[in-house]
Amino acid sequence: MSSLDELGYTPFFSAQIELLPDQEPLTPARVSAESHGLYELMGCTATLGELSGKLRGQLKAAGRPVSGDWVAVSEHGERATIRHVLDRRTQLVRRAAFKDGVPQAIAANVDVFFIVSSANLELNPRRLERYLSAVWDSGADPVLVLNKIDLVDDPALLEAEVRQIAGAASVVSVSAYTGQGMAELGGLLSAQKTVSFIGSSGVGKSSLANRILGQELQATQSIGSEAKGRHTTTRRELLVVPGRGVLIDTPGMREFGMLEDEGGIDSAFPDIAARAQSCRFRDCSHETEPDCAVVAATQTGELSPGRLHSYHKLKREVRAAQARQDPVLGANVKRRWKAINKAHRRSKR
Ligand code: GDP
Ligand code: ZN
């Protein structure tokens, strides 16, 4: 059994447990996988937990625990009842997938996300920017990892390209194959911290994780096979790196799209945010407004039009998602489009 310390149990979480009003003593545990309403737990004696009836009623589907969550449980042997989900320090959410009007979390309480791209594939700055904003919004720190540098002649050139996108995020070039750069990457891990990998399929996330763990990631293991006759197989998604914290590897990370924006887009585009200070209008959208410093910068070549285009696209996606969520905003957007279409038709007459 891993100790709570090893699992990243910090005062942020212990303070919450101490404040719980429950009569019976509750034990902290960390969720390492979920399958059909059964949660695999670490840090407590029980290995499997289910939500209490009360919690099931209270929590909307999207608010239910995910990998990395800390929960308070009452234990009865091998099984536990989850009584509370502790407040998350960070959460990576998938905006495309709302359940019950709540954005769906993919992983909770991750401290550092390694955003992985591969040196042998066309670098996709727009995708990296997208991941960057998502990670900034999650509350975790992003690190841009350029993997497979063993496959190219001049990794420094590529790294420079990645740095242009990075903003305040750090950049590390590595090869999971030769081990080059792995010491630097490993240096970003630390006891009690949780790290995770995101990036497109095939960039080498599993290879990097394996290299860090110094072993093959645990293969599939079955959880809950004896439980209520359910036979489900799940991969444990949370792994303790001895002395170096915790690694979360969840399938959700592999195919996640757009996310809620809470300033993450501006953090991912510090160059645009800085120039926006000089726009005439404080709420300038850098599209058609007069005296827009951002558009001006694209004309002088200081800012690439592709980058501004990507910024607009992300902002539009956020607006569309918010409109879906917010009926008033949604109606406003609809009204605006109606007016725009009308004006457009009129202009064509
Ligand atoms: P994931 O889908 O992001 O988890 O990617 P994988 O870890 O499964 O790696 C995809 C493929 O890239 C595998 O065939 C790996 O052997 C290969 N690969 C991963 N890292 C490196 C690397 O640093 N150099 C080279 N040459 N190949 C790598
Ligand atoms: Zn502007």
In DSSP notation, 235-290 reads ---EEE-TTS-EEE--GGGGG------SSHHHHH-HHHHHHHTTSSSTT--SSS-T
- pLDDT of 335 reads 53
Distance 285 CA to ligand 2 centre (A): 6
pLDDT digits (tens, 9 = 90+) for 118-139: 998 778 787 888 889 889 989 9
Report yes or no on 260 lying in a domain.
no
* Smallest-distance ligand from the CA of 208: 1
Residue ranges, the chain, pLDDT below 50: 216-233, 257-261, 329-330, 332-333, 336, 340, 344, 348-349
pLDDT given at position 103: 67
Residue 198, classed as helix, strand or coil, is strand
Instruction: Identify which of 196, 207, 217, 255 to mutate to test ligand 1's pocket (most ligand atoms within 8 A of the CB).
Output: 207
Atom of ligand 1 nearest to the CA of 197: 3
Spatial distance between the Cα atoms of 156 and 6, rounded to a whole number of angstroms = 36
Q: How far apart are CA 246 and CA 238, in angstroms?
A: 7
- Which pLDDT belongs to residue 224? 41
Domain of residue 225, residue span: 91-249
The reported pTM is 0.73
Of 85, 102, 123, the position where a domain reaches its end is 85
74 Cβ neighbours under 8 A, 6+ residues apart: 24, 26, 27, 80, 81, 83
The response to whether residue 254 sits with its C-beta less than 6 Å from ligand 1 reads no
Give pLDDT, residue 319: 73
Tokens 């399958």 — which residue?
35
**By the 8 A CB rule, do 125 and 310 touch?**
yes
DSSP H helical segments within the chain, as ranges?
Answer: 11-18, 53-58, 125-138, 155-166, 182-186, 205-213, 264-268, 270-276, 293-299, 305-325, 327-348
DSSP assignment letter at 69: -
pLDDT for res 242: 86
Give the number of domains in the chain: 3
289 alpha carbon, distance to own chain's centre: 33
Query: Both 110 and 22 in a single domain?
Result: no
Residue nearest to atom 15 of ligand 1 (CA): 204
Is 326 part of any domain? yes
Q: Cβ atoms within 10 A of the Cβ of 245, count?
A: 21
Ligand 1: centre distance to CA 49 (Å): 34
Residues 139 and 227 in one domain: yes
Considering only CA atoms, which of 177, 160, 9, 190 is closest in space to residue 89? 9
What distance in angstroms lies between residue 21's CA and the mean position of ligand 1's atoms?
Answer: 48
Please give the distance, rounded to the nearest whole angstrom, from the Cα atom of residue 268 to the centre of ligand 2.
17
Ligand 1: does its nearest atom lie under 6 Å from the Cβ of 117? no
- pLDDT for 346: 55
Q: Does the C-beta of 206 come closer than 6 Å to ligand 1?
A: yes
Domain CATH number, residue 104: 3.40.50.300
* Of residues 62, 115, 109, 59, the one with CA closest to residue 82: 59
On whether residue 1 sits in a domain, the answer given is: no
CA of 249 to the centre of ligand 1 (A): 15
Nearest CA among 12, 3, 14 for reference residue 45: 3
